[in-house]
Amino acid sequence: MSTSVLVLGHGEMGRAMDVLLAPRVSLAIWDKFPQPGFNSAVLAAAAPRADVVIFCLPTVPHADVLQELLPLLRRDCLCLSVAKGLDDEGRPVAQILADVLGDRFAHGVLHGPMIAEEIHAGGLAFAQLGHRGPGVVDRVTALFTGTRLKVAPAGDILGINWAVILKNVYTLAFGMADELNLGDNVRGWLAVTALAEMDTLWDEAKRIQETKWEQEAVDEAGREGSKRVVGRCQDRQGTVSRQRINEL
């Protein structure tokens, strides 16, 4: 029996998930404000059938949409998100998922080099899976095996989430430097400064590891965040970082 996947959001990442998954699963896509020509799924009909729900939405509406979905979802439904920002309370999406879903539903985040335009064009993409709940790694691995998205499990859902948020902040700094033509010396200084700041944050996280963060998982999150800073920002021509600035 085909896996039933509900994608929330028909923006760039929602359409990228369509490209990756449509040939393999029973796919429904919902959008609150559908564009002309797009036939959005109806949540009340699609959510109860879903084995997996993938949130391709900004972080801010996650809590409200989750609350709307809760009475509709099957108990074995898996919820995933690709969101990278903070909500109005300063929570990353991993924290929102934990606050709303708790242990009732398995959930996870997918973060990594997943530029939607490249996925649309048939290129490779890579994601780390931060997860909570039984069976998440096996289910997500099976979902994307054979696609152009390569998934690797990570130990700490919250740490991975914060790493990618910080990467987005640093990307803006690189974009500003590129737009001002400050040169490679400034680019190099920014890279070293960003990585040093991340090291400081991970050290502090390890110091308070009696909270939600395991030391090994924090180390892993720091390494992955560092790779994303370099990979996202050190484009020689500054294409990606300038694009982020121009989008503001």
Tens-binned pLDDT, residue by residue, of the chain (248 aa): 689 999 999 999 999 999 999 999 999 999 999 999 999 999 999 999 999 999 999 999 999 999 999 999 999 999 999 999 999 999 999 999 999 999 999 999 999 999 999 999 999 999 999 999 999 999 999 999 999 999 999 877 888 888 888 888 888 999 999 999 999 999 999 999 988 888 887 777 666 554 444 444 445 544 555 555 545 454 544 444 444 434 44
Q: What is the pLDDT of residue 235?
A: 52
Are 47 and 152 a contacting pair, CB within 8 Å?
A: no
- Name 98's Cβ contacts closer than 8 Å, sequence gap at least 6: 107, 132, 157, 158
Q: What is the pLDDT of residue 197?
A: 87
Total-model pTM: 0.81
Q: Which tokens is 11 given?
A: 């923006």
Q: What is the pLDDT of residue 215?
A: 46
Q: Which tokens is 223 given?
A: 């390494």
Q: What is the pLDDT of residue 205?
A: 67
- 215-233 helix and 239-247 helix, angle to the nearest 10 degrees: 90
Q: Which tokens is 51 given?
A: 């084995």
Q: What is the pLDDT of residue 158?
A: 85
